[in-house]
């Protein structure tokens, strides 16, 4: 039986350019001839709620649909695109007309990390400050518009699972996001919209 190869964990102060001159994921797969996985521990505090809200262009609730992992341009990292089904946008700084409209349009967003297929093998890069998401999971996501492509406003701390109508933080690292565990989802979203509008008014 083939076993998954775990590449030693990295501790990074900044994710950008994190892998420098390290082998590409394709090179790792070719060398190991098996799945490879790289765990990345990002140093530093998690984003604050105010920081997340400041960056947020869209606050949306929906169901995770198709999940597609793809390699970064240098082949050393992975990004994942998530389709958000039946999105209900409760706040949009760019298109207020879509607020409150369930299924008004299909949204997609991109998150750092994930799994991409290379020559029949899985190459995974897993960040400890990113949320683990899977199809059929209901989520609330704070998204920012990054040049026409949505990204989570504060990494994994900006994405919460909805389970039995309550909020479940998806990142285990400590931070302000953990304080919302168990909150009623509608109350949580109303509170966040109120806070965002106060920030806009300043």
Our CA angle for 90, 149, 143, nearest 5°, is 35
Q: Could you tell me the domains of the chain?
A: 45-113+129-201 (2.40.50)
Beta-sheet strands, E only, within 54-158: 58-71, 78-92, 107-112, 114-118, 121-127, 138-146, 149-156
Of the chain, the percentage scoring pLDDT greater than 70 comes to 85
DSSP state of 23: P
Residue pLDDT, tens place only, 158-168: 999 999 999 99
Residue pLDDT, tens place only, 108-152: 999 999 999 999 999 999 999 999 999 999 999 999 998 888 999
């Amino acid at each position: 039986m083939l076993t998954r190869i775990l590449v030693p964990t990295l501790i990074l102060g900044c994710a950008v350019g994190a892998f420098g001159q390290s082998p590409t994921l394709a090179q790792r797969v070719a060398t190991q001839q098996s799945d490879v996985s790289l765990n990345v521990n990002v140093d530093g505090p998690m984003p604050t709620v105010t920081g997340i809200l400041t960056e947020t262009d869209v606050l949306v609730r929906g169901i995770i649909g198709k999940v597609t992992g793809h390699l970064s341009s240098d082949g050393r990292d992975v990004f994942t695109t998530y389709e958000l089904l039946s999105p209900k946008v409760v706040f949009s700084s760019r298109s207020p007309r879509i607020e409150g409209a369930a299924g008004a349009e299909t949204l997609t967003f991109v998150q750092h990390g994930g799994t991409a297929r290379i020559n029949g093998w899985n190459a995974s890069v897993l960040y400890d400050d990113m949320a683990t998401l899977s199809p059929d999971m209901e989520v609330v996501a704070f998204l920012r518009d990054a040049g026409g492509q949505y990204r989570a406003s504060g990494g994994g701390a900006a994405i919460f699972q909805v389970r039995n109508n309550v909020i479940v933080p998806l990142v285990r690292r400590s931070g302000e996001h953990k304080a919302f565990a168990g909150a009623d989802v509608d109350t949580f979203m109303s509170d966040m919209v109120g806070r965002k509008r106060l920030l806009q008014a300043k």
